[in-house]
Amino acid sequence: MGVNLKEFPEGAFDKNYLTSSDDIKDVAKEFDSRGYFLEDITAVDFKEKFMLVYVFGHFKEHQTVSVRCFLDKENAVIDSISDIFGGALWKEREVYEFYGIEFKGHPNLIPLLLPADEDLGHPLLKGDKAKAVSEIYQSFKTGE
């Protein structure tokens, strides 16, 4: 593949890749051109970073692929892929309201499941209970 994708050894999906947060749009375009559908977008809160997980499925090749990238907490902004996959419109809004991650270029980034006129904060942030990435993924300890 012509885009920045590195194998991620500890993922649970059929194939697991790691990319940089700057390249997410190119990655989405690549998966779009190869006929994948967007199954899900989610995030996990770690002590030093957010891990964003994009899950793609395929109607014919029958495999589920995850692409993940790490995002700094101070400046949690990433490009929206909603212009490539319409399904990202809702999925990005959900990540935005639960984690406060901003999706640049999203046309309507307002809360989806939480009440919009009340400030409830971002409920899935771990705060003090957050663990380091290396505590869960061994490959980060060894620096692979």
Partner 1 sequence: MELWKEDFYSKNFAKDKRPDTIIVNMGPQHPATHGVLRVLTELHGEYVVRTECVPGYLHRMQEKMGEVKTYIQYYPNTARVDYTHALAWNWAYVGAVEKLLNLEVPEKAEYLRVITTELNRIASHLLWWGVYLMDLGAYTPVMYAFEDREILLDILQRITGSRLTYTYIRLGGVYQDVDSKFVEDVKKFCRRIKDRVEHYHEFVTENYIFKKRVEGVGIIEPEVIRKFGATGPVARGSGIDYDVRKAEPYGVYDKFDFKVAVEDGKDCMARYKVRLQEIVESAKIVEQAIEGLPEGDFKNKKTPKMVKPPKGESYFAVESARGKVGIYIVSDGGMNPYRIKLRSPTYSNLSLLDHISPGMLLADLVAVIGSLDLVIPEIDK
Sign of CA dihedral 137, 99, 90, 25: negative
**Nearer Cβ to partner 1 (34/104):** 34
**Nearer Cβ to partner 1 (22/35):** 35
Q: How far is the CB of 33 from partner 1 (least distance, A)?
A: 12
Q: How far is the CB of 109 from partner 1 (least distance, A)?
A: 11
Sign of CA dihedral 88, 104, 117, 49: positive
Question: 94 φ, ψ to 5°?
Answer: -65, -45
What residues does 7 pair with on adjacent strands?
A: 17
Q: How far is the CB of 94 from partner 1 (least distance, A)?
A: 9
Distance between CA atoms of 22 and 51, rounded to whole angstroms? 14
Footprint of partner 1 (CB under 8 A): 10-13, 35-40, 42, 44-45, 53, 55, 57, 59, 62-64, 66, 85-87, 89-90, 98, 108, 110-117, 123-124, 131, 135-136, 138
